[in-house]
Amino acid sequence: VELHDEISTAESLQFDFRTIRVATDNFSIDNKLGEGGFGSVYKGRLSNGQDIAVKRLSTNSKQGIGEFKTEVGVVARLQHKNLVQLLGYCLQKNEKLLVYEFLPNSSLDKVLLDRSKDTSLDWETRYKIITGIAKGLLYLHEDSRLKIIHRDMKSGNILLDESMNPKIADFGLAKHFGVDQTQADTSRILGTYGYMAPEYTRTGRFSIKSDVYSFG
């Protein structure tokens, strides 16, 4: 009940667990798209034919609850063509599920590492991806009703649609800043080493500049 109270989303965003279970063929291994530190992602298809991506948070992860609250609360209020669209969520039977639009071209890191897909990344496409990510970040930092620091910008969190347009994903570590706030501190250094700004790893201080460093 407490978790429900902390999620300020419309009733229309709630999915029934049975609906998601059917859509993913009971979370079939064949529908598994990937696995991260907080759970697994599955492809699904709703009864109306719409493809979805379901993020199933690990039931034994204490961090997962905080991640879930953040991601639903933040993403449900963000609308931009370069952000992954949240379609809904489910909190039933000890399950914490996030339902997103399905993006067929996987994540940018997989495309970059897959030699068979090199031909799809001509310079025009690369430019489109770079500028799209920049526009998404600008929206998060300055143009949205909220001021959001993503804190885990990396190629694995950039998903690509059928036209290779980039969409920023995974807001589990995101932080909401006040209008006049420029930085914050944390004692828990979370994110992905290699992408994190030096001052963040040393002192726990993060800001808009931290995301820009990760993007660069």
What is the tens place of the pLDDT at every residue in 99-120?
A: 999 999 989 999 988 877 656 6
- What is the chain's mean pLDDT, rounded? 81
Q: Which of the four pLDDT bands, split at 50, 70 and 90, describes residue 94?
A: confident
Q: Which of the four pLDDT bands, split at 50, 70 and 90, describes residue 30?
A: very high
Quote the pTM value.
0.80
Q: Which of 216, 191, 194, 125 is nearest to 206 (CA)?
A: 191
Query: Among the listed ranges 89-98, 170-179, 202-211, which one has the minimum average pLDDT value?
Result: 170-179
Mean pLDDT of 151-180: 82
Binding residues for ATP: 55
In the set 114, 152, 161, 180, the catalytic residue is: 152
Yes or no: say if 34 and 109 are a contact pair by the CB < 8 Å rule. Answer: no
152: annotated active-site residue: yes
Give the per-residue pLDDT at 187.
46
Binding residues: 55
Domains plus CATH for the chain? 2-101 (3.30.200.20), 108-215 (1.10.510.10)
**Both tokens assigned to 112:** 């970059």
Rounded to whole angstroms, the Cα distance separating 54 from 39 reads 10
Rounded to whole angstroms, the Cα distance separating 43 from 89 reads 15
Q: Is the pLDDT of residue 189 over 60?
A: no
Give the per-residue pLDDT at 35.
86
Q: Which of the four pLDDT bands, split at 50, 70 and 90, describes residue 92?
A: confident
